[in-house]
Structure 1
Amino acid sequence: MLRLKLVGQDSWQEEDTGDPLGRLVVLVREFETFDNDVGETVTSVLRACGGLCRAALVSDQIVYPSLVLPPRVSSLVLTPDLLRPHPNIHHLLSGARHVLLLPDGARCSSSAQLRDLVHLLEGGDAQVVTVGVGGTPLTCHRYTLQVAAWTLTVAPAPQSVACDAVSGRAALLLHAKDLLNLTHPMARPLPLSIGVQGAARGWKLSRIPPNTSIWEDGTPPCCLEGLRATARHIFQVLKGCRAQWWLEGGTLLGTVHSGDIIPWDYDVDIGIYAADVERCPAIKAARWQTLEDGEGFVWQRAPDGNFFQVHL
């Protein structure tokens, strides 16, 4: 495997072409290191903007397993170490006018979609413009922040277009100078973080209606069916070895909401007790080696964290 190559940002100093996309930087921050679609996400954006915009990957640590990224994609690791100085987000966004915060797995099909977002931001009075990704509508929220009392009151505002924050898979566009003026510009989760920090500054967020702009999601139906088949296989294995298991994270949310995997999800989150690992031969063996079971499913330990991965 190759480690993620850290590309210097000095090459990003480019002449202003007059096209708004020439001063747009797309940041991918919301992704999982052990399973993601970052490479295809940034490739689709660079293709849509005709190579005019720039893209960057922001992570807490060096990503491993390494990602295959296009040459124009830079990266910023937020945690310094002995050989890596403190990160400089201002350097990363040098020369940028707008920043698009894009969730992993999103797809942009045309430059018109990007220009529409820029024009809405420039022509309105909101500090952030957001659009839903994957066809799921965004929920608008009102924030009442009382810093002295350490309290944040969140109230839904379903009929409002101007919000303090949104929930759901969203692409967020804002001015680079506004992002850089935040105390914690890269704190996750980004929609919540920017909503709280923006509320403290009196910002407003403009929510684009779902039918205004269509942003596709990167999980095709065939992959969703693969996730379902993998989940059913794992359930049978866990049942066969009498292990206790439960659903977690986005998988649990999708099950409660619709009885199925969330359409834009790319993994299934299942929890088991550590003591039950000894009961299940496949999981027990995967602690030390990658193995394929009799039905073609590959079991392995994840490279970081106390996780196991099962692939079809």
Structure 2
Amino acid sequence: MRCTFCQWALSLAIVANLVILYYGTKLQQRVLPRHRELGRLSSQRPSNNSVPGVTILIREFEDFENYVPEVVQSFLKNNPTQPVVVAADILPYPPMQLPSSPHVHLVVLKPSPEQPAYASRPEYYVQTEYVALVPDGVRVDATKQLEKMLEEYKASRGQAHMVAAPIESLIPLHCLDLMVSLKEWTATYSMATSSNLCSALRGEAVILLQTRDFFNLSSPLAKPLSSSLFIQSSLRGWKVRILEDISFPSTQQPLFTSSHNQWKADNHAKASRAQLFRDFGIRRVVMEDEKQQWYGCSKETLRCFGTVHDDTPDYLYQDRWTPPCCLKALRETTSYVISILESSGVRYWLEGGTLLGAARHQDIIPWDYDVDLGIYLEDIPNCEFLRNIESGSIVDEKGYVWEKAIEGDFFRVQYSETNHLHVDLWPFYPRNGIMTKNTWTDHKQDVEFPEHFLKPLVPMSFAGFTALAPNDYRSFVELKFGEGVIENPEYPNPAFRKLRSGS
């Protein structure tokens, strides 16, 4: 029997459909488990962290060497239903072999495109009312420390937002007071007056607080975790109480078994601390021993703010003042420039807003971004740097840059070739007893003035050293800025940004 063309076409269509059905079924079998898993995760989303109890949150550890599985196992041994969340920036490698338990979750904070949003957010896996922040290397024994911590927390309500239990055999836990001034970009630590109630801790501890408080912080998982936590909590006025009768044992072995791994961990800690302060906008940290750490600009970096528009730097729009590293650089530059002018026989004086800062603060105005000095035009040839600038900028042996300003007939000394924080030198000359100059700006204080203010020049405290200033400085600055300007501070352009009362 011979097959017609139509019969052949029908047979081929049937075979093609069977092939499609077969591979479609296989594909569905491969895809469905993934969808079921996502559905299972979705069903685990908590409701308002209302379940009684405490979830262990382990945030800080090193991928290359850690005791996280052992830490988790020690808590599960004490309580098999203990909820544990391990939060990692990226999927740990080498792979972390956590105990197999429906109560243990490894949450990778870096989102993955095929997962729902909550899969990378630990707060969705913390269903309990309380959370305990546990460092790597901590163990729990049969004394039920968590239950005791929770009891102490409830007893401390109204007094402390957090309780902390020290870890044995590590650095002793110390109570510190922490003052954070975002306006001044500064965090200041000091020894607390109380031994067990304060705003920050030095040393390792297990810290317990309410879940809603922790995850309502702007950056609850920023590292280093304790530094991040206490900076944010101190801004909210929270206190932490040290529980002196509760402690946790640590692992019997060192956390890192080789000097190389310890070196890596120390570098990671240093880098994360620097990144934390940059992210939080903290440029200066004063430690409890009064040593200072700087995290802002330097001679090798750009300054902390960009081009200034309308006399209002960008930091004023952020309700902040001049970053302290910038003030430090301006003080150094001013002291250096004045030493050169004095040794060269160039008469100078504190000018404009710089003199106003000296009169009001004996320093640079806290929100100013440059320094102004007046000089006598006829003295310019006395200074090697100033008389040779016409041929181009000069980088001196200290790395300061001397140049002719492109905006007019005045000079500028920059902190470095990279960092353009600067001191402006304005050449004046007398004409019929009045000091005038060739370049004027639209600043209201940029006006002529009688030469008698400069005869004589008088010493004045400024920025930690002594500089020369006009005699009768009050009348001088009131001529420039208006009556009562010393007692009534204001931002340089109130039309754009006003200084709030009490600032």
TM-score range, shorter-chain basis?
0.5 to 0.7
Alignment of 1:93-104 (within 5 A): 93-94=126-127, 96-104=128-136
Query: Cα 1:12–1:135, aligned 2, differ >3 Å: closer, same or farther?
Result: farther
Report the Cα distance in structure 2 between the residues aligned to 1:142 and 1:47, rounded to whole angstroms. Answer: 37
Q: Which residue of 2 aligns with 1:145?
A: 180
Report the Cα distance in structure 2 between the residues aligned to 1:247 and 1:83, rounded to whole angstroms. Answer: 36
Mapped pair 1:40 → 2:73: no
Q: CA deviation at 1:53?
A: 2.4
Report the Cα distance in structure 1 between the residues aligned to 2:70 and 2:187, rounded to whole angstroms. Answer: 37
Q: Which residue of 1 aligns with 2:147?
A: 115
Q: CA deviation at 1:180?
A: 1.4
- Contact 2:58/2:134 (CA < 8 Å) preserved in 1? yes
Alignment of 1:6-25 (within 5 A): 8=41, 10-11=43-44, 23-25=53-55
Structure 1 gap segments, 5+ residues each? 235-245, 254-312
Q: Determine which structure has greater relative contact order: mean sequence separation of CA pairs < 8 Å that are 6+ residues apart, divided by chain length.
A: 1
Q: CA deviation at 1:98?
A: 0.6
Alignment of 1:118-267 (within 5 A): 118-124=150-156, 125-136=159-170, 137-157=172-192, 159-209=194-244, 212-220=245-253, 227=257
Q: For the pair shown, which has the larger CA radius of gyration, 1 or 2?
A: 2
Report the Cα distance in structure 1 between the residues aligned to 2:263 and 2:225, rounded to whole angstroms. Answer: 24
Spell out, residue by residue over 1:257-293, the C-alpha distance to the aligned partner (whole angstroms, 9 max, x if none).
Answer: xxxxxxxxxxxxxxxxxxxxxxxxxxxxxxxxxxxxx
Q: Which residue of 1 aligns with 2:57?
A: 27
- Contact 1:106/1:134 (CA < 8 Å) preserved in 2? no
Q: Which residue of 1 aligns with 2:82?
A: 53
Q: Which residue of 1 aligns with 2:109?
A: 78
- Contact 1:27/1:101 (CA < 8 Å) preserved in 2? yes
Q: CA deviation at 1:111?
A: 5.2
Q: CA deviation at 1:12?
A: 7.6
Q: Which residue of 2 aligns with 1:105?
A: 137
* SS class of match (2:183): coil
- Contact 1:135/1:214 (CA < 8 Å) preserved in 2? no
Q: CA deviation at 1:182?
A: 0.5
Mapped pair 1:66 → 2:101: no
Spell out, residue by residue over 1:2-42, the C-alpha distance to the aligned partner (whole angstroms, 9 max, x if none).
Answer: xxx9994744869x9x9x9x521101111001111100101
Report the Cα distance in structure 2 between the residues aligned to 1:218 and 1:108, rounded to whole angstroms. Answer: 10
Q: CA deviation at 1:218?
A: 1.2
TM-score by length of 2: 0.40
Pick from 122, 135, 147: which aligns with 1:89?
A: 122
Letter in 2 for 1:64: Y
Letter in 2 for 1:131: A
Q: Which residue of 1 aligns with 2:14?
A: none
Spell out, residue by residue over 1:222-271, the C-alpha distance to the aligned partner (whole angstroms, 9 max, x if none).
Answer: x68x94xx65xx8xxxxxxxxxxx967659x9xxxxxxxxxxxxxxxxxx
Query: Cα 1:106–1:151, aligned 2, differ >3 Å: closer, same or farther?
Result: same
Q: Which residue of 1 aligns with 2:364?
A: none
Q: Superposition RMSD on alpha carbons, in Å?
A: 3.2
* SS class of match (2:153): helix
Report the Cα distance in structure 2 between the residues aligned to 1:59 and 1:52, rounded to whole angstroms. Answer: 22
Query: Cα 1:24–1:9, aligned 2, differ >3 Å: closer, same or farther?
Result: farther
* SS class of match (1:23): strand
- Contact 2:85/2:122 (CA < 8 Å) preserved in 1? no
Query: Cα 1:117–1:61, aligned 2, differ >3 Å: closer, same or farther?
Result: same
Spell out, residue by residue over 1:64-93, the C-alpha distance to the aligned partner (whole angstroms, 9 max, x if none).
Answer: 111111223102111113334442333122
Q: CA deviation at 1:214?
A: 3.0
Report the Cα distance in structure 2 between the residues aligned to 1:44 and 1:191, rounded to whole angstroms. Answer: 22
Q: CA deviation at 1:203?
A: 0.2
* SS class of match (1:97): strand
Query: Cα 1:90–1:248, aligned 2, differ >3 Å: closer, same or farther?
Result: closer
TM-score by length of 1: 0.63
Report the Cα distance in structure 2 between the residues aligned to 1:110 and 1:9, rounded to whole angstroms. Answer: 34
Report the Cα distance in structure 1 between the residues aligned to 2:184 and 2:115, rounded to whole angstroms. Answer: 38
Letter in 1 for 2:195: S
Letter in 2 for 1:155: S
